[in-house]
Amino acid sequence: MIYFISNQQRTQYIGDVKFEVKEGKNDYIKTSTIEECLEYFKDTEEIGVDTETTGFDPYRDRILSLQLGDFNNQFVIDSSIDFTIFKELLETRVILGQNLKFDLRFLYKLGIHPKKLYDTFLAECVLTTGFTERGLGLKDLGLKYCNVELDKSIRGVIHKEGLTDRVIKYGADDVKYLSTIKEKQLLEINKWGLQNILDLENEVLKVFSLMEYNGIPFNPTKWIEVSEQVEKNTKELEDKLDTLIYQLGTKDLPNINSITKYCNIWKQGSLFFDIKERDCNINWASPAQKLKLLRDLGFKLESVGDKDLQRNKSKHPIFNLLIEYSKQNKLATSFGKDFLKFINPVTKRLHPNYWQILSTGRISVSEPNINQIPAHGELATKIRSAFEAPEGYKIVGGDYSGFELRIIAEFSQDPLWLQAFREGGDLHSILCSKTFDIPIEDVKKSFPGKPEFKYRDVQKTINFGLAYGMSEFKLADTMQISVEEAKGIIAKFFSVVPKVKQFLDMLGYSGRTRGYIRTPEPFRRIRWYQNWEKAYKESDSKVLGEIERASKNMPIQSTNANVIKLAMIRVQDVIDKNNYPVQIIMQVYDELQTLCKEEFAEEWKTILERIMIESAQEVIKSIPVVADCKISDCWSK
DNA sequence: TCCACGGGCGCG
DNA sequence: AAAGCGCGCCCGTGGA
């Protein structure tokens, strides 16, 4: 049965005619009261919850209706009711919902903070990680688990139509099937041993919801300062490139009679260069145009990517200009003034979207993507300084040190790799000395005859690269050596750390032969390869190779992601239990940043660091884990 | 004018 | 046959 709770007249439509009625014309909808609703849920442990809202922003939009229910009965409560009446109920029961992050932000706005969550959307993500053709919407889940066709056609018109019978029915259906979906999902979850990872996701859900709701403090003045500098740099470099082309056209291209002729060869009908105006029509942001030009000038390049430009930079001054231009242009476009559109007009903060589960278990962030803010180079510090704590607050946070390398140590149990972390030595240097048979004091020296390659840097490339399934071809390309030489280096390296090789080979074999790969205990996340079956039958080496390399990396990357999620749960838990004046504001792979009241910052830094380390040691048991936290006014390394 | 695609590059 | 993993964003390109 569907119950409707409201303090106002119901809106009804017959055709296009709108009128108010007290009781709907369909007898499956009854009017009810708050008291009846609270009484109904008095002894239930779990409640299906959904909201309809006027939009996506909890600060500018509002809840139109709140739906609470189970399979037998659903209550549709309209916005004439003060929803905070349900605070106690919602904060003590298990809240069952589909993509709850959306609803939670609106409940937070009302001061309602549900604690125990089960999200059918996240459960489906956990069950189908890696599949590209999967249905994650409630409509898909209704069909898959309940064989019921849920009507979604109405979404988006509720605001106009009002709470008519069909809108109420639709709202009620959105909570009616949740428990059935959950029960059937749990059968699959248990069958695959995914309970731990599902619990982790359902718990960290509220942290991501809070992060989206709270947002990130941002100082636009500082951002604009850097943007203007970068824009200026970009324009100057464009001018320099144009001038260079002018000089090339008049002097360095004797085989081309005039730049006009060259231009006509290059692009029919439109001049890219006007000698009189000294105006060059080349779009320096166009890879195709750049490549064509450089090839016409006689350079052999495969692309105009940084790697190819770097290799040619001694041959002509245009390469250094192009390298620098690409960098500045990237900063100007991706991190320029356009970025300011993401500032929420109400909170003046950034409120990015979080996608909680990608194929390895990492998250992704968008609008804006806070996980790709520049971190290297001289402008990075300035750019990041725009992420600034307000007056009276500090940014407290930090990252795990060499975390993926520690994960490799734990899972491979390689003696040398373990020993390096146990003794606190520098892993890259230790392995470098053994791989290249040189004294450890010499690891920062260059290879004989190759001043641009230092032993330890190459070792770093190997340590990270091989964990991603890197081949001798890539190493040869990176180091500019022969494939044979590269092969030799890899063989030597793996003879130094045989158990690492064994571990990676095992992962690759596992993925290639089974079509899925999973994280070791305790989380046991699983990633499927949708294209595996076909590739396996057809012995498609290209696809199987991709699966093999991804499988070598997934448990490592995934464990990092699982651990930081565990840390987030525990950190938020401590904040909530103690009412600390702290907000988690960012998670950047192996880094957590919080916003903290200034007077609490010192104490908080110690607590945060401890929780991060303790969380990681739940998984990394053989060696110590290090987290470096610091207190600052703005986001910094 | 809109859209899909891919090169290129920002982060880890 | 191709050979380092995981993302999102910007822009140019080419077709509708």
* CA angle A122–A65–A79, rounded 5-degree value: 145
Nucleotide closest in space to A305 (CA vs C1'): B8
Q: What Å value separates CA A479 and C1' B6?
A: 27
Q: A590 is written with which tokens?
A: 């192996």
**Cα separation, A316 vs A339, whole angstroms:** 35
Q: How far is the CA of A150 from the C1' of B10 (A)?
A: 41
Q: Is the pLDDT of residue A274 over 50?
A: no
Q: Which residues of A295-306 are buried (b: 16+ CB within 10 A; e: fewer)?
A: eeeebeeeebee
Q: Which residues contact A505 (CB under 8 A, 6 or more apart)?
A: none
DSSP state of A470: -
Which bases in strand B are touched by protein, i.e. have an atom under 7 Å from a CB? 7-12
Query: What pLDDT, on the 0 to 100 scale, is given for residue A624?
Result: 97
Tokens 């709770």 locate to: A5
Asked which of A158-167, A264-273, A441-450 is least confident by mean pLDDT, the reply is: A264-273
Q: Shortest CA distance to A560 belongs to which of A486, A484, A615? A: A615
**Residue A75 banded pLDDT, cuts 50, 70, 90:** very high
pLDDT of residue A177: 97
Q: Which of A161-170, A326-335, A501-510, A616-625 has the least mean pLDDT?
A: A161-170
Architecture (CATH level 2) of domain A405-555:
Orthogonal Bundle (1.10)
What residue is closest to C1 (Cα–C1')?
A: A542
Is a pLDDT exceeding 90 seen at residue A515?
A: yes
Tokens representing A419? 């020993």
Shortest CA to C1' contact from A336: nucleotide: C10
Q: What is the mean pLDDT of residues A81-97?
A: 97
CA distances from A206 to A156, A185, A238, A267, A399 (A): 26, 21, 47, 56, 22
Angstrom distance (rounded) from CA A178 to CA A628: 42
Report the C-alpha gap between A466 and A498 in whole angstroms. 13
CATH topology of A2-191 equal to that of A347-404+561-632?
no
- Position A21 scores a pLDDT of 62
| Distance CA A227 to C1' C1 in A | 45
User: What is the CA A534 to C1' C3 distance in angstroms?
Assistant: 20
User: Does A448 sit behind a cis peptide bond, omega within 30 degrees of 0 on the bond before it?
Assistant: no
Q: How far is the CA of A587 from the C1' of B11 (A)?
A: 12
Q: How far is the CA of A327 from the C1' of B8 (A)?
A: 11
Which has the higher per-residue pLDDT, A220 or A449? A220
For residues A78 and A51, give the distance between their C-alpha atoms in angstroms, rounded to a whole number: 10
CA of A162 and C1' of C8: distance in angstroms?
37
Give the nucleotide nearest to A371 (CA→C1').
B11
Chain C bases near protein CB atoms (7 A cut-off):
1-14
Gap from A352 CA to C9 C1', Å? 14
First to last CA, chain A: 57
A16 pLDDT band (50/70/90 cuts)? Answer: low
Domain ranges of chain A: 2-191, 220-338, 347-404+561-632, 405-555
Query: For position A257, what pLDDT does the model report?
Result: 40
A612 — pLDDT class (breaks 50, 70, 90): very high
Round to whole Å and give the CA distance between A602 and A582.
Answer: 12
Whether nucleic acid strand B comes within 7 Å of the CB of A385, the answer is no
Pick the CATH number of A2-191 from 3.30.420.10, 3.40.630.30, 3.90.1150.10, 3.40.1440.60: 3.30.420.10
Tell me the average pLDDT across A514-534: 96
- pLDDT of residue A283 exceeding 50, the answer is yes
- The protein residue nearest C2 (Cα–C1') is A542
Strand B close residues, chain A 414-443, CB < 7 angstroms: none
Residue A524 has a pLDDT of 97
**Residues A554-611 pLDDT 10s:** 999 999 999 999 999 999 999 999 999 999 999 999 999 999 999 999 999 999 999 9
The alpha carbons of chain A give a radius of gyration, in whole angstroms, of 29
Q: Each residue of A435-450: b (16+ CB within 10 Å) or e?
A: bbeeeeeebeeeeeee
| Nucleotide of closest approach to A288 (CA, C1') | C12
* Proximity of residue A379 CB to strand B below 7 A: no
Query: What gap in Å lies between CA A514 and CA A522, rounded to an integer?
Result: 21
Residue A13 confidence (pLDDT) above 90: no
Question: A484 CA to B4 C1', in Å?
Answer: 41
The top-scoring range by mean pLDDT among A265-269, A338-342, A448-452 is A338-342
Return the amino acid letter for A22.
K
> CA A549 to CA A507: how far, in whole Å?
9
pLDDT tens profile A403-424: 999 999 999 999 999 999 999 9
State the pLDDT at residue A23. Answer: 59
% pLDDT > 70, chain A: 92
What pLDDT was estimated at residue A19? Answer: 63
Q: Which positions ≥6 away from A401 have C-beta within 8 Å?
A: A626, A627, A628
Protein CA A204 to sugar C1' B3 (Å): 36
Provide residues 50-79 of A with CB closer than 7 Å to any strand B atom: none
The reply to whether A589 Cβ lies less than 7 angstroms from strand B is: yes
Determine whether the distance from the CB of A588 to the nearest atom of strand B is below 7 Å: yes
* CA A185 – CA A180 distance, rounded (Å): 8
Report the C-alpha gap between A302 and A291 in whole angstroms: 8
Please state the rounded mean pLDDT for residues A141-169. 84
Nearest Cα to Cα of residue A121 among A108, A105, A109, A137: A137
Output the six-digit token pair for A456: 């330890």
- pLDDT reading at A18 higher than 70: no
Taking a C-beta distance cutoff of 8 angstroms, is the pair A417, A497 a contact? yes
Question: Residue A158 has what pLDDT?
Answer: 75
Question: Could you tell me which residue, A517 or A28, shows the higher pLDDT?
Answer: A517
- Give the CA-to-C1' distance from A371 to C9 in angstroms: 12
A543-577 residues labelled b (16+ CB within 10 A) or e (exposed) = bbebbbbbbbbbbbbbbbbbbbbbbbbbbbebbee
The mean pLDDT of chain A is: 91
Angle between helical axes of A403-412 and A541-578 (0-180°, round to 10): 110
Q: Tokens standing for A560?
A: 């990092």
CA of A279 to C1' of B1 (A): 28
pLDDT at A90 over 50: yes
Return the pLDDT at A592.
98
Nucleotide nearest to A464 (CA to C1'): C4
> CA–C1' span, A285 to B1, in Å?
22
How much of chain A is helix, strand and coil, in % rounded to 5? Answer: 50, 15, 30
Class of A347-404+561-632 per CATH? alpha beta
Question: What is the tens place of the pLDDT at every residue in A97-130?
Answer: 999 999 999 999 999 999 999 999 999 999 999 9
All protein residues with a CB under 7 A from any atom of strand C: A 283, 285-286, 288-289, 333-334, 338, 355, 358-360, 362, 364-369, 371-372, 461, 464-465, 468-471, 473-474, 478, 541-542, 545-546, 549-550, 553-554, 557, 589
Q: How would DSSP label each residue in A229-255? A: HHHHHHHHHHHHHHHHHHHIIIII-TT
Task: Quickly give A302 CA vs B5 C1' distance in Å.
Answer: 20
Task: Check if residue A371 sits with its Cβ under 7 angstroms from strand B.
Answer: yes
Strand B contact with A405 (CB < 7 A):
no
